């Protein structure tokens, strides 16, 4: 379990100074040995891997100070535990990272009320693994207090500060690194995984160009692209105006070209109106070509689903959903999937779905697509035709395989399925489809979900050939809900599943990950990363054997001294 440590912190610093040190001013000068300064009771919330722990702390000149043994006790048993050894002869403390802490009594004792006190510079020397280090320390009431940022740097545990709720976050998982970036313009909230009965397009992307990491976000009809160095220091920002009112998705091909799908409503049902525009950009975000798509039986694009793209061999495939024209039989506008194939050289439209595409699914609440050589592989979440998860394979313009992965109980067209589709990838011999599905007898709407991985051999003919791997085993009457799932391809034989579990009765939530091979065999059993935010509605960036995503909350309270902050999380998988 993660430990939340709540400290009361009186904040007198500017945001930029405070955040640079996770609620501390990292630029403050070293205090003079004879200096006596004011220490005020602390007043921020500190979260250590997700569980609350209260302890006494002080704020001195805009920096947070903790008792060393309190922090050692709070981190004990985590991936960043450290022992505290006292060398009385040398009047020095030796910190031993990775070793268990031995309590001496009185750790984490919290007074009901803390008062302002005078603090003097502490004289104790500090060693880390026998090496002399520089740590700022004060003696307050007979106890030594150490600057949190100094300890974070020397003991290698990340500390970040969030302005929107005045909290300090500490993550101690050995394979998770955290880097916080201040003054990031136009940051959107990353708590945007809105998939109730149906999904929606992502408006956030991470991608890499050369040695730079790029963050793309949509806001107010503008595309913001921020560039960061490998260490996540911000470099520059570019903006691009959207060409149509609706944003569908972004993709970068292997040659470094960018593609964005725009759309606009067509409630008048004109076959001549451009409903989709697929724009190709070069590395400088110059429009180098576009495909305007008309006459595809669409009154509203991107309706009730997400959008995914893939590229290979000079072709771009797009898979999404739309609201159709009014059906004469019942006077209703129905929803179904739609796909396009584009020649990336000429931007000519090679294939476009119309009223009844070959890969028709209705309703289609989530859509994924991947190239597999000359094949195009589609995965859809249907509630009627079919009512289930379905995988389809297209070869040379025709659907050659349609394989049901899971069929849902209930009435045809009932939007509630209790299931959520999270990703599609291809290994050497299988197609892998991830998501979550309810354990329930219809119509048990409050049933819990479990995470699954469907392993579909490329030679499969029907559902009997599909192997289903369950990553969780929650009972039907559990209060656990799992809607957010991700599937990332590290290489042809290593795939990472990420998912967020939410307890409906308590609102507790946690991120989990597992690793599988191309046959669906589990390489790493599920690991809980409590306190680590989930990616939300974006695809994690894969770099070697790491996955990177980010957490952000746009501070909209109108305070001039508040800035948007992004926390980049990187998970390393073996």
- Give the pLDDT of residue 186: 63
Question: Which stretches in the chain have pLDDT values below 70?
Answer: 1-34, 124, 183-187, 439-446, 554-563
pTM of the predicted structure, to 2 decimals: 0.91
| Amino acid 11: pLDDT | 33
Other beta carbons within 10 angstroms of residue 86's beta carbon come to 12
User: How many angstroms separate the CA atoms of 183 and 469, rounded?
Assistant: 43
- Contact between residue 12 and residue 60 where contact means Cβ atoms under 8 Å apart: no
Which CA distances in Å does 401 have to 190, 263, 394? 36, 30, 7
- Looking at residue 12, its pLDDT comes to 30
Q: Which residues of 392-428 are buried (b: 16+ CB within 10 A; e: fewer)?
A: bbbeeeeeebebebbebebeeeeeebbbbbbbbbbbe
């Amino acid at each position: 379990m993660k430990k939340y440590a709540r400290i009361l912190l009186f904040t007198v610093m500017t945001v930029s100074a405070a955040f640079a040190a996770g609620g501390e001013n990292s630029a403050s000068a070293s205090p003079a040995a004879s200096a006596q300064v004011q220490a005020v009771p602390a007043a921020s919330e500190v979260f250590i891997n997700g569980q609350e722990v209260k302890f006494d702390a002080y704020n001195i000149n805009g920096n947070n100070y903790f008792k060393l043994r309190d922090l050692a006790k709070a981190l004990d048993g985590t991936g960043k535990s450290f022992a505290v050894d006292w060398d009385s002869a040398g009047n020095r403390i030796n910190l031993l990272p990775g070793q268990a802490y031995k309590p001496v009594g009185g750790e984490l004792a919290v007074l009901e009320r803390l008062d302002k006190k005078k603090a003097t510079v502490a004289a104790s020397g500090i060693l880390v693994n026998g090496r002399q280090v520089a740590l700022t320390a004060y003696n307050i009431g007979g106890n030594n207090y150490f600057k949190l940022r100094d300890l974070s740097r020397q003991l290698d545990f990340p500390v970040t500060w969030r302005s929107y709720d005045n909290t300090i976050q500490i993550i101690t998982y050995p394979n998770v690194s955290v880097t916080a970036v201040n003054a990031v313009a136009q940051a959107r909230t990353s708590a945007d995984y809105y998939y109730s009965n149906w999904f929606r397009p992502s408006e956030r992307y991470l991608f890499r160009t050369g040695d730079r990491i790029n963050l793309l976000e949509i806001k107010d009809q503008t595309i913001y692209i921020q560039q960061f160095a490998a260490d996540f220091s911000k470099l520059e920002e570019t903006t691009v105006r959207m060409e149509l009112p609706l944003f569908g998705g972004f993709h970068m091909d292997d040659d470094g070209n960018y593609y964005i799908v725009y759309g606009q409503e067509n409630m008048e049902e004109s076959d001549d109106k451009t409903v989709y525009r697929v724009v190709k950009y070069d590395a400088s975000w110059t429009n180098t070509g576009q495909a305007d798509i008309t006459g595809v039986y669409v009154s509203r694009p991107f309706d009730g689903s997400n959008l995914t793209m893939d590229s290979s061999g000079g072709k771009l495939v797009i898979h999404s959903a739309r609201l159709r024209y009014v059906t004469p039989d019942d006077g209703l506008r129905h929803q179904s999937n739609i796909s396009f194939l584009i020649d990336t050289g000429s931007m000519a439209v090679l294939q476009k779905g119309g009223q009844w595409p070959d890969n028709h699914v209705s309703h289609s609440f989530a859509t994924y697509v991947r190239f597999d050589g000359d094949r195009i592989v589609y995965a859809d979440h249907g509630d009627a035709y079919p009512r289930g998860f379905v995988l389809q394979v297209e070869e040379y313009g025709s659907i050659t395989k349609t394989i049901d992965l899971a069929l849902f109980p209930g009435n045809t067209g009932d939007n509630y399925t209790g299931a959520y589709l999270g990703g599609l990838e291809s290994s050497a011999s299988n197609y892998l489809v991830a998501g979550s599905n309810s354990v329930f007898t219809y119509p048990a709407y409050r049933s819990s979900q479990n995470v699954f991985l469907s392993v579909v051999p490329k030679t499969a003919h029907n559902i009997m050939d599909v192997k289903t791997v369950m990553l969780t085993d929650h009972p039907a009457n559990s209060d656990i809900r799992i809607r957010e799932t991700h599937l990332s391809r590290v290489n042809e034989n290593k795939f990472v599943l990420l998912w967020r579990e939410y307890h409906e009765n308590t609102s507790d939530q946690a991120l989990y990950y597992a690793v599988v091979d191309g046959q669906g065999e589990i390489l790493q059993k599920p690991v809980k990363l409590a306190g680590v935010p989930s990616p939300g509605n974006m695809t994690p960036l894969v770099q070697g054997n790491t996955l990177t995503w980010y957490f952000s909350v746009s501070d909209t309270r109108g305070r001039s001294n508040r800035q948007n902050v992004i926390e980049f999380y990187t998970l390393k998988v073996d």
